[in-house]
Structures are given as structure tokens and as C-alpha cells.
Chains A and B, each alone.
Chain A
């Protein structure tokens, strides 16, 4: 059971360790605040409660200060 994580111009395959893994779990694992990140699952914006399934592509977009 794997998913693809796209973050900071890097794309890598990751193992789904828990039975139910959410976007929030991924953010906590990377020590990222949900206040600064917008997540996309298979190209569509999703909320932190969204469950990740085998083969999903998860993109994390950092919302930076400025402008």
C-alpha cells in the first residue's frame, strides 16, 4: 500500500503504515501546520480529514507569507 507525495519540488513514493491514514497524519509526520498547507489529492483540493488510499497522489502546497 503506497501513495505518491509531491512536496517542495520532490516527488516520492511513501508507504501507508496505518490502516486509515489522513492528510492530517501526513502533515503531522512532516511537522507541518495545516494552517500553512493546502493539500491536493489526485489533483483536487481536499480537507485535512481526507483519507489517503493506495495509489493516491498527494500534493502539499505551502502558503508562504508575502505579497
Chain B
């Protein structure tokens, strides 16, 4: 058996096919934390004095990003807070919400749970009973973004951190390219900013860490995690793309890294040619930023009646 490439410890927990590197628990934890901080520095994601709000679901990705950002909080480089969204999915979301609360309490950071019920007067379970619904993920994405953006302003946060990992980013690049959705492609990146001051910049510190390594990090750090799949997740195009990439990665272990690197190189060219930054005004109903009279959340709520 192989020993840890860095310290020689025989208890190896990962063998990276992409680099041939084998790591023990301690060296792996240090490596993931350093890689994440490197991404933060390289992409200029965080500045000293930032108040970072983590979108904390209680799943492995958001718990891991919270854990790593907390090291910056401890060193008084940033202030940290978190928001958890309760979509109203019976027998699923409750556990994640409790786990998120436990983490916030343990770390001593500001935290709030915001529900679809409180914000929109309807749960995702109720929406899905409507025969004319547009599909769970459509509502979930729009309503969550609405809540996250408002929560960031309420907290006075200067950045919103999400747990997007390398798999998520690679899937998004491929999906949008294959669908010819160039506008969406220009929005992918380590940092998403808008001209409108009503939107808080979003950052993805884990975008260069594969999903499996994020899961492994959460496990070896003994972090409490909600390890369950959403009951509404269905066979989606993203799922199909994910399967293709995972299969390709078996014989081409660097494929996700090269996809991301290649995209990052051409992104500015795409953005210059296809930038479609809307002029934002406020939604006439809820006051959130919108390029139309009504924002998408309010449009959906009107449809649902």
C-alpha cells in the first residue's frame, strides 16, 4: 500500500488519479483548506473586512465552505453569518435546518432560517400539488435566490458564499454550452456581480474542489451533514451531464479541471461579445430588483394564484 505523499503516514484516505498524489487525513484537510484559500486569493473573492453570508443548507458543500471560511473569521479577516432556506418539503428539509442551526450555534455566528411559507405564503409541497406547476427546481431556484438576496441585505453582508464545487461548475459549463445558452454561460464563474447595488456579489470558494473531495472533507472533519437527496430531484439534464462527466473522469481524471480552465480562459471573450446586463428597476410588487414590472418570483406567485 502507498503512504501519504506529503508526510509518509501509511493511513491514506485518498489517492488522486488526476495527480497521483496520496494523502492522509491531516494532509488532506490542510490541502483542501489551502486550495480553497488559494482560489479566494486568485479570484479576489474576499477582502479584509467583508461580511460573508453563507447559504447554508446543512449539506456537505455548504457545511464545508462554512467550515473553511470560519478559519478566516477566527483570524478576524472577515465577519461571518449564514442563512438557511426552508422550502417546505416535508420529511426532508427539517433535518438540514436543524443541522444548519447546530453549526451556527457551535461557531457562534449570526444565523436565520427563512421559509417559503413566511416569504411567499406557500410551501414547495403545496406548489407541487398545483397541476400546472413548472417543475420543482424552477420555483426553488427563483424563490431561493429571492430569499438569499434579501437576507444578505438584511444582514448587511458584502458577499454571499455558496458551496458550488468543481462538479457543479463543470456541469453548468457543459449544460449551457450544449443548450446554446450563451447568456447563462457568461454568468458562470468564481464571482458573480451585478451593476445593481440591490444584488450582493456571490462567490464560490469551492469551485476547484471535486464533489467527492468536498464530501470527504466534511466526513474527516467530523462535520454534521444532511446526507439525503431532495425528494423532488428528478431525472434532469444536469443529471445526464453529471453521468457523462463522471464516466469520462474514470479514464480522463483531469477532464473537469481542463473544462474549468478552458472555460475560464474564454470567458472574458464570451462576456465581451454576449454581455446582456439588463437595466434593473424594482419589482412593482415586492420591491426586489427586476428587469420587468414584476420579478420572476412575483410572476410565479401570480400564476399560482
Contacts and interface: CB of A to CB of B under 8 A. Distances in A.
Interface stretch (B58-66, B71-79, B146-154, B175-183): B58-66
B57 A66 contact: yes
A65 B233 contact: yes
B11 to A, nearest CB: 7
Contact of A66 (B11, B13, B59, B216): B59
Contact of A67 (B15, B63, B219): B63
Interface string A11-49: 000000000000000000000010110100000111111
Interface residues of B, number: 37
Nearest to B247: A33
Contacts of A63: 60, 211-212, 215-216, 227
Given A45-B220, A47-B15, A49-B15, A38 B246 contact: no
A67 B212 contact: no
Interface in B42-85: 57-63
Given A44-B11, A45-B220, A67-B62, A38 B57 contact: no
A35 B246 contact: yes
B262 interface: no
A8 B216 CA distance: 17
A49 B2 CA distance: 10
A67 B219 CA distance: 15
A67 B246 contact: no
Interface string A45-67: 11111100000000001111111
B205 interface: no
B219 A38 contact: yes
Contacts of A61: 215, 219, 227
Contact of A45 (B211, B216, B230, B249): B216
A28 B211 CA distance: 20
Interface of A: 33, 35-36, 38, 44-50, 61-67
Given A45-B219, A47-B12, 8 more contacts: A35-B211, A49-B1, A50-B1, A61-B215, A65-B229, A66-B59, A66-B61, A66-B229
Q: Which 6 A-B pairs have the closest CB atoms?
A: A67-B59, A63-B215, A67-B57, A45-B13, A47-B15, A64-B229
24 contacts: A33-B246, A35-B210, A35-B211, A38-B215, A38-B219, A45-B25, A45-B216, A45-B220, A47-B12, A47-B13, A47-B14, A47-B15, A50-B1, A63-B227, A64-B59, A64-B227, A64-B228, A64-B229, A66-B59, A66-B229, A66-B230, A67-B59, A67-B63, A67-B96
